[in-house]
Amino acid sequence: SQQGEEDPQALSIQEGENATMNCSYKTSINNLQWYRQNSGRGLVHLILIRSNEREKHSGRLRVTLDTSKKSSSLLITASRAADTASYFCATPDSGNTPLVFGKGTRLSVIA
Amino acid sequence: EAQVTQNPRYLITVTGKKLTVTCSQNMNHEYMSWYRQDPGLGLRQIYYSMNVEVTDKGDVPEGYKVSRKEKRNFPLILESPSPNQTSLYFCASSFQGQFGGELFFGEGSRLTVL
């Protein structure tokens, strides 16, 4: 099954800096979702972007989607120590199948 | 409060001793799913259910069983656990399944099989 692949695997930044994570996928999708996971906890949905959308904002989060390149990016602006977590992208495997998750980007925000 | 509840949260068991991890959601969601999370492998889907009495295999169903007799409950059954099933397990639910709805996750069940 296809799997979104996040890049980089790990990212360490200073508080106040912006963090950018990327996700690439293999086949056409209906939507792409981003989730956050604090260490050992359940995943929390952040944002969903549909295939006909190019950009979406939610608070300090900005997600872009480039279907021609089969890629998405998640930007967290003015990062805080509390943003330290793993971030996952998730896509349907094909038009009628459940979400498949990537392996995630581990973000560390240093105060 | 809308939530997905898993039990137990932590469990240590021995090889071959049947166990059940329960999952319950209070959001009237049709779609429910089980994932396991292992270091370096990310989240992998075990089974999912689109509605009552409808279940399908995910990517790693071997060694697991599920049932969906009621909309709110989706238990994960390990008939004869083995050490390679030591993992962190997550139950998730969604109103619209994979198309439009966000997945709501439980807090996870950490299982160790000795």
What pLDDT score does B99 carry?
A: 55
Tens of pLDDT, residue by residue over A67-91, are 999 999 999 999 999 999 999 999 8
Residue B102's pLDDT band (cuts 50, 70, 90): confident
Q: What is the side-by-side strand order in the sheet with B65-66?
A: B4-7, B19-25, B76-78, B65-66
Say what the pLDDT of residue B97 is: 60
DSSP state of A67: T
Pairwise CB contact (< 8 Å): A101 & B108 = no
A2 has pLDDT over 60: no
**Structure confidence at residue A98 (pLDDT):** 74
**pLDDT for position B14:** 96
For residue B100, pLDDT over 60 is answered with no
Residues of B in CB contact (< 8 Å) with A are 4, 31, 33, 35, 40-43, 45, 48, 58-59, 88, 90, 92, 97-100, 102-108, 110
Owner of token pair 């939610």: A58
Give tens-digit pLDDT for A18-61.
Answer: 999 999 998 888 889 999 999 989 999 999 999 999 999 999 99
Q: What's A51's DSSP letter?
A: T
- Note whether A42 contacts B108, CB cutoff 8 Å: yes
User: Cα torsion for A75, A70, B58, B27, to the nearest 10°?
Assistant: 50
Give which of B41, B50, B66, B102 to mutate to test A binding, by max A Cβ within 10 Å. Answer: B102
Alpha carbons B21 and B41: distance in angstroms, whole number? 21
B77 Cβ neighbours under 8 A, 6+ residues apart: B18, B19, B20, B21, B64, B65, B66, B67
Indicate the SS3 state at residue B59. coil
Per-residue pLDDT of B55-66, as tens digits, reads 999 999 999 999
List, as one string, the DSSP characters of B7-46: E-SEEEE-TT--EEEEEEESS--SEEEEEEEETTTEEEEE
**Interface contact A42-B45, CB threshold 8 A:** no
Q: Is the pLDDT of residue A95 over 60?
A: no
CA A63 to chain centre: 8
Please report the pLDDT score of residue A58 as a whole number.
Answer: 95
Which of B42, B99, B105 comes nearest A42 by C-beta? B105
> Which of A1, A28, A43 is most worth mutating to test chain B (most B CB atoms within 10 A of its CB)?
A43
pLDDT at residue A92, rounded to an integer: 78
| Residue A107: closest CA among A71, A78, A83, A88 | A83
Q: Higher confidence at residue A61 or residue B102?
A: A61
- Inform me whether the pLDDT recorded for A8 exceeds 90: yes
Average pLDDT score over residue span B87-114:
87
Return the H-helix or E-strand segment holding B55: strand B54-57
- Residue A1 pLDDT class (50, 70, 90 cuts): low
Give the pLDDT confidence of B6-51 residue by residue, as tens digits: 999 999 999 999 999 999 999 999 999 999 999 988 899 999 998 9
Confidence of residue A96 (pLDDT cuts 50, 70, 90): low
